[in-house]
Structure 1
């Protein structure tokens, strides 16, 4: 795995953990917390959504799903 892929996966994991710890958060809060662009935030959220780990009950707000996750 190349360095860029590893960095992206670590950030996606960190975004998931941030949402899990803070409850429902906005896209803007995530971008600000991680110092990333809106586009990068959307890309990370898409990865998490595609894997069924988060959902957006209200546009622009995110929460984790009930899917069991083993964090390593």
Structure 2
């Protein structure tokens, strides 16, 4: 994998773990935690949501789903 792809996947994993550990969080909470733009956060969340790993039951607050995840 290319360096940018590896960096992106590492960030997405970190975002997932942050949501798991901190409970429902907003897009701006994630952007602030990782010092990235809200647009970048939204792209990462779209990938996680597409894979059924996160959900936003109330507008703007994200939490993980009950889907089993193996983290390595």
Same fold, judged at TM 0.5 (above): yes
Report the TM-score, using the length of structure 1 for normalisation.
0.99
Distance 2:5 2:58 in 1: 30
SS of 1:18's partner is helix
Q: How much has 1:31 moved relative to structure 2?
A: 0.3
* RMSD of aligned Cα (Å): 0.3
Unpaired runs of 5+ in structure 2? Answer: none
Shift of 1:9: 0.1
1:5 Cα deviation from its structure 2 partner: 0.3
Deviation at 1:32, TM superposition (A): 0.2
Residue 12 (structure 1) shift: 0.1
Q: How many residues align?
A: 72
Which of structure 1's runs of 4+ aligned residues deviate more than 3 A?
Answer: none
Displacement of 1:4? 0.1
